[in-house]
Amino acid sequence: MPSSQAPSVLAIVAHPDDIEFSAAGTMLLLKQAGWQLHYFNVSGGDCGSTVTGRDETRRIRAVEARNAAAILGAEFYESVGNDMLIFFGEELLRKVAAVVRKAKPRIVLTHSPQDYMEDHMNTCRLAVTAAFTHGMPNFETDPPVPPYDGDVTVYHAMPHGLCDGVRQPVEPDFYVDVDSVRATKKEALAAHESQRAWLDASQGFDYLAACDAMSRSIGERSGVFAHAEGWRRHLHLGYSADERCPLSEALAAPLVAHNPKITKPPVPVG
């Protein structure tokens, strides 16, 4: 269980390797700042192979995900769902909420609400709602885990392709400079050996180069960093007492650069 002394960040994503593509650099920087890391893939990646069946693929990818989490220095949580079957519903919500309560995060990192596939977007909905229930004693999780008090702030990663499903660009609120931890981010991604083989075979996808290209593109958008991850902060209402941004506070300049294209929306009070 997490220490009561160090703040905790929980990444909730759809598939093994999604953390490495979109969030691992930020997590590594938070670790350097004294935060505890928690690593959770909702699906076990059972459809990610052309050569092994679902059960064997899930077993292989669980081993790879554990190895990746160990490289990042993160606590690993077992997957609770299956590829292409991540839907927003009671069964998965109770399971995801249980992981949130076990990790007791101050920060939750998850997918963009707009992305290229439903698994990502549905995982985003599950993560957002599970975080909302973290302090609700009358909401029962599976397995049962007691609620916890305190603020939670949810952040959305950049979608793959840096656009939504109808090709419209998505802009982050701010950028995090991940160049100093890029080698470890790629090492963790490389631990997903079977996924790399699957994407190479099915999509002609150069796995590690694609990860570098994504962080390079986000860095170029920042106008400041060579390689970056981008984040949008979820509205604080129902999650925390105010609009503080613990992620940018924990890392701060020169690791964080605000996006000048984004203006802060007014927040209703009362």
Q: pLDDT tens-digit profile of 120-157? A: 999 999 999 999 999 999 999 999 999 999 999 999 99
Pairing of strands 8-13, 228-233: unpaired
* 267 pLDDT higher than 70: no
Residue 197 pLDDT:
78
Q: Which 3 state secondary structure label does DSSP give 257?
A: strand
Query: Which CATH code is given to the segment(s) 8-258?
Result: 3.40.50.10320
H helices present in 105-262, as ranges: 118-132, 182-190, 193-203, 207-222, 246-251
Structure tokens belonging to residue 131? 């975080």
Across all residues in the chain, what is the average pLDDT?
A: 94
Residue 206 pLDDT:
83
Mean pLDDT of 59-80: 98
Cβ contact 88:113 at 8 Å: no
* 47 pLDDT higher than 60: yes
Cβ contact 245:25 at 8 Å: no
Residue 3 pLDDT:
46
Pairing of strands 107-110, 174-177: unpaired
* Chain segment 234-260, per-residue pLDDT in tens: 999 999 999 999 999 999 889 999 999
Any idea what the Cα angle at residue 165 is, between residues 126 and 28, rounded to 5°?
Answer: 55
Among 14-18, 171-175, 193-197, the minimum mean pLDDT is found in: 193-197
The whole-angstrom separation of Cα 253 and Cα 49 is 42
Percentage of residues of the chain with pLDDT beyond 90: 87
* 217 pLDDT higher than 50: yes
Mean pLDDT of 21-35: 98
Cβ contact 92:42 at 8 Å: yes
Q: Where are the domains of the chain?
A: 8-258
Mean pLDDT of 105-111: 98
Q: Which runs of E-coded beta strand occur in the chain?
A: 8-13, 36-41, 74-77, 107-110, 153-157, 174-177, 228-233, 256-258
Q: Which 3 state secondary structure label does DSSP give 150?
A: coil
Residue 264 pLDDT:
64
The whole-angstrom separation of Cα 6 and Cα 219 is 29
- Non-local (6+) Cβ contacts of 120 within 8 A are 13, 14, 18, 111, 112, 159, 160
Q: Which of 39, 45, 133, 35 is CA-nearest to residue 82?
A: 45
- Non-local (6+) Cβ contacts of 15 within 8 A are 41, 42, 43, 45, 48, 83, 119
pTM of the model: 0.94
- Non-local (6+) Cβ contacts of 180 within 8 A are 29
- Non-local (6+) Cβ contacts of 131 within 8 A are 100, 105, 108, 152, 154, 239
pLDDT interval class at 265 (50, 70, 90): low
